Amino acid sequence: MPLENEFCVGLDLLADRIARAERKAHRAKLANLAFVQAEAALFLSALAVLPRPPRLRRVFVLFSDPWPKRRHWKHRVLQSSLLDTLAPLATADAELHFRTDHPDYFAYAQEVVSTHALWRLATPTEAPWPFEHVSVFEERALAGAPQSFTARRV
Ligand SMILES: C[S@@+](CC[C@H](N)C(=O)[O-])C[C@H]1O[C@@H](n2cnc3c(N)ncnc32)[C@H](O)[C@@H]1O
C-alpha cells in the first residue's frame, strides 16, 4: 500500500465520522494514522504556528461539501486561503489531491489552484492519482461522474 510508510491524519468536522473512521482503522490494524475532529483550515493554521511544524507530503480533499449556492461558496474547503496556509507546510514535492462529484465545485477548485501563485495544476501523467479506495461517499458519487485533479507546489 503506497501510504504505509507515511503518517496520515484524517480530519472531519463531525464526531460520528471521526469515530467511524477510528473503528475502521482499528479493525484494519492500521497504526500509522490518527483522526482529528477539526475544521480543515483551522487545523492547518494551528499546525503552522507550532515551533516545529510538520511537513505535509500529500493532502487529500475528497468529496468535501460542494455548497452549490454562491453565497455559501465561502464554506467550501478548497479556497485560495487554504492554499496560502498549506504552502509553507508543504514539502517541495507536495501534492494536493482533489476529488468531487460536483461539476461546478470541480471547475471552481481548478480555477482557485490555477490562479494561485504558489500552486499549479499537475497533468495526470505527471502526478497520477496515488491510490484508490472507495469510501461510502465515493460509492454514492460513482453513480454520477466524480472528477479529480492533483496540484503541486510551484
Ligand atoms: C460528503 S462527506 C465526504 C467524507 C469523506 N471525505 C469521503 O470522501 O468519504 C463531506 C465531509 O466533509 C466534512 N467537512 C465539511 N467541511 C469541512 C471542513 N471545513 N473541515 C473539515 N471537514 C469538513 C463534513 O463534515 C462531511 O463529513
pLDDT in tens, 103-132: 999 999 999 999 999 999 999 899 888 888
pLDDT at 12: 96
Q: In this structure, how many other beta carbons lie within 10 angstroms of the beta carbon of residue 86?
A: 23
**Is residue 31 within 8 Å of 44, Cβ to Cβ?**
no
- Ligand 1 pocket, residue 138 CB under 6 Å: yes
> For residue 80, is pLDDT > 80?
yes
Task: Tell me the CATH number of domain 55-153, given options 3.40.50.150, 3.30.413.10, 3.40.50.620, 1.10.3720.10.
Answer: 3.40.50.150
Ligand 1 centre to CA of 119 (Å) is 22
Ligand 1 centre to CA of 63 (Å) is 7
> For residue 15, is pLDDT > 80?
yes
Is the pLDDT higher at 31 or at 2?
31
> For residue 66, is pLDDT > 60?
yes
Give the residue numbers annotated as catalytic, written as ranges: 65
> For residue 1, is pLDDT > 60?
no
> For residue 60, is pLDDT > 90?
yes
Domain boundaries, the chain: 1-38, 55-153
Of all protein residues, the one whose alpha carbon is nearest to atom 9 of ligand 1 is 137
* Ligand 1 pocket mutation pick from 45, 60, 62, 65 by most atoms within 8 angstroms of CB: 65
Cβ density class 6-39: b for 16+ within 10 Å, e for less: eeeeebbeeeebbeebeeebeeeeeeeeebeeee
> Which residue carries 492500521 as its cell?
30
What does residue 149 show for φ and ψ, rounded to 5 degrees?
A: -145, 160
Ligand 1 centre to CA of 143 (Å) is 19
Q: What average pLDDT does the segment 24-33 reach? A: 93
Question: What distance in Å separates the CA atoms of residue 95 and residue 58, rounded to the nearest whole number?
Answer: 5
- Ligand 1 pocket, residue 100 CB under 6 Å: no
Ligand 1 centre to CA of 148 (Å) is 16
- Paired sense of beta strands 119-121 and 90-100, if any: unpaired
> For residue 98, is pLDDT > 90?
yes
